[in-house]
């Protein structure tokens, strides 16, 4: 036998062919690895029978926003409706406004009149008409209004209360004397609550 027949078969293949086969094997391996790592591999099951039954994923609730620990509430007197000023003409009244046992402001003496054309009184620019209180969520705070008229003949007084809650507007507060003919007013406030 000749020496060519004694050599192994791969020694007879030209070197270029061997290099080409090695290159194709390496390229195929690289492509498969990239598909697996990159998530490009076909994810469809081989057969429908082989698919595992799907289990529902547990429902994930979004995180609830943290509730504020307290609110800063600004009360602003918008207007006073004069139902009865207490006398036959105009009457001078002074009003004290407090909330939660703390004085907010005092409206200085001023003439109020229950005549149809002047029964709505708005605070003068020089009058204090705002106050700030702090509430925790759900807390109710008592707002008190006390008024007095220091007339020469008789001294009149009125009082009224309302309940302030940070989450809603303050309802109008009726401020009235024991006998409504001696004085009756309705106070309207604006409220602005800021979470802290």
Q: Give the model confidence (pLDDT) of 112-140 as tens digits.
A: 999 999 999 999 999 999 999 999 888 99
Would residue 17 be called left, alpha or beta, if left means φ above 0 and alpha means ψ between -120 and 50 degrees?
alpha
Residue 131: its pLDDT value, please?
93
Q: Phi/psi of residue 39, each to 5°?
A: 75, 20
On whether the CB atoms of residues 182 and 148 are closer than 8 A, the answer is no
Q: How confident is the model at residue 184 (pLDDT cuts 50, 70, 90)?
A: very high
DSSP 194: E
Q: Which of 4-18, 97-111, 126-140 has the lowest mean pLDDT?
A: 4-18
Of 62, 97, 59, the closest CA to residue 78 belongs to 97
- The pTM of this model reads 0.64
CATH of domain 71-195: 2.60.40.150
Residue 96: its pLDDT value, please?
96
| C-alpha span between 188 and 134 (Å, rounded) | 20
Strand partners, 164: 141
Residue 179: its pLDDT value, please?
92
Residue 54: its pLDDT value, please?
61
On whether the CB atoms of residues 165 and 70 are closer than 8 A, the answer is no
Enumerate the domain spans of the chain: 3-44, 71-195
Q: Give the model confidence (pLDDT) of 26-80 as tens digits.
A: 777 877 777 777 655 555 555 555 555 566 666 666 665 666 688 899 999 999 9
On whether the CB atoms of residues 70 and 136 are closer than 8 A, the answer is yes
Show the tokens assigned to 28. Answer: 């195929």
């Amino acid at each position: 036998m000749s020496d060519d027949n004694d050599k192994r078969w791969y020694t007879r293949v030209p070197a270029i062919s061997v290099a080409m086969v090695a290159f194709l094997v390496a390229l195929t391996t690289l492509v498969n690895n990239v598909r697996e790592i990159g998530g490009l591999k076909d994810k469809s099951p081989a057969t429908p029978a082989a698919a595992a039954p799907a289990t529902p994923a547990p429902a994930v609730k979004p995180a609830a926003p943290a509730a504020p620990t307290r609110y800063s509430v600004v009360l602003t007197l918008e207007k006073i409706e004069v139902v009865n000023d207490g006398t036959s003409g105009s009457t001078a009244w002074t009003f004290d406004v407090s909330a939660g046992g703390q004085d907010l402001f005092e409206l200085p003496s001023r003439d109020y009149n229950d005549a149809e054309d002047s029964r709505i009184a708005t605070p003068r620019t020089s009058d204090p008409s705002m106050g700030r209180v702090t509430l925790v969520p759900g807390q109710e705070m008592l707002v008190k209004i006390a008024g007095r008229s220091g007339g020469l003949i008789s001294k009149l007084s009125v009082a009224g209360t309302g309940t302030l809650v940070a989450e809603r507007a303050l309802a109008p507060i009726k401020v009235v004397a024991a006998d409504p003919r001696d004085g009756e007013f309705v106070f309207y406030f604006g409220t602005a609550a800021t979470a802290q």
